[in-house]
Amino acid sequence: MRQHKFSREIPDKPSDIKRYLSITLFFLLIYAAGRFTRFSLSELFDGMSEGGGLIKEMFFPPDWAYMRRLLEPMQETIQISIVGTFFGSIVAIPLAIVSARNFLRNPILTGIFRNFLGIFRTIPALVFAALFASIFGFGSFPGILALIVFTAGLVAKLGFEAIESIDPGPVEALESSGASKLSILRFAIIPQILPQYLSFILYSFEINIRASAVLGYVGAGGIANYYNRTLSYLQYARAGSIVLMTFVVVMLLDLVSSKIRERLL
C-alpha cells in the first residue's frame, strides 16, 4: 500500500524592493514640493516664535468689551448661512435627480449634469463670493449667492449618490405597473432618501457657518468684515475676541446639528 507524503511548500518571501522604492518616491515628492514652494524649516521655527507673541496679544486677555459689538455681525453671519443653505438645498433637488443614473437612465445627460456639478464643487465659496461682490456690490447678498451655489453643488452630489444606493425593489415594482417617473420619484425614491437628504442639509449648514465667517474678506458681509478691520489696524486683542466668539458659536451649532443628524439617521 502506497503512502503519500504531502510536503508543505513555504512560499518565498516577497521582495522589499517595491516597498522601499515607494517610500523613497514618496519622500522625493515631498522634498520636490518643498523646494518648489520654497519651504524652509528655519523660517517655520522663526515664525512660530513670532506667532507665540501674536497669540499672547490676542488671547491673554482678549477684548471682552468688544464682544458686544460683534453680536449683530455674528447674527448676520448665521443668517447668511441659513438662507444660503436653505435655497441651495432646494436648487440641489432637481440637480440630484437628473444626475442619478438609476432614475434618468441617460448616460449622456447624467454625465453632463455630473460634470456641471463637479465644476461648481471644485470652486471655493470664497471665489464665488468675490465674483458676486464684484457684480452686485458689497454686502450680505453676494455671500448668500455664494453659499447657494456651493450648497447646491455639495448637496446635489451627495443626493444623487444616495439615490443610486436605494433599494431598487420599489422602483422596479412601480415601473412594472406602468407608473410615471413622477410617481416613482414620489413613492419609491423620496421616502428612501429623505432622512439622508435632511442630514446632508445639516452637514452643509455646518460647513457654511465656517465658510460665511470668512466671506467678509471679499466684502460679502458678516463677522469677517471685523476680522479684516481689526487685523488691518493691528488690534489683536479685538481680533482674539472675534476668534473666540466665532469658535463658541460654531461649536454650539455643530453640536446641535450633530444631535439632529443622529436622530434622522
pLDDT digits (tens, 9 = 90+) for 11-68: 666 667 878 888 889 889 988 888 888 887 777 777 777 777 778 888 888 888 888 8
Supply the pLDDT for residue 11.
Answer: 65
What is the per-residue pLDDT across 199-243, written as a single tens digit (0 to 9) for each?
889 888 888 888 877 776 676 667 877 877 887 788 888 888 888
Fill in the amino acid letter for 86.
F
- Average pLDDT of span 4-15: 60
Long-range contacts of 67-72 (CB under 8 A, 24+ apart): 67/241, 67/244, 67/245, 69/226, 70/223, 70/226, 70/241, 70/242, 70/245
Q: What angle do CA 215, 123, 194 make, to 5 degrees?
A: 90
pTM for this model (two decimals): 0.77
- In a 3-state reduction of DSSP, which class is residue 137? coil
Distance, in Å, from the CA atom of 36 to the CA atom of 30, rounded to the nearest integer, reads 10
The answer to whether the CB of 159 falls within 8 A of the CB of 96 is: yes
In terms of pLDDT, which residue wins out, 244 or 139?
A: 244
Which domains, ranges and CATH numbers included, belong to the chain?
A: 62-264 (1.10.3720.10)
Range list of H helices, 37-167: 41-59, 71-99, 101-104, 107-122, 125-136, 140-164
Helix axes 71-99, 190-212, angle to 10 degrees: 140
CA angle at residue 147 from 143 to 150, to 5 degrees? 140
Tell me what the pLDDT averaged over the chain comes to. 82
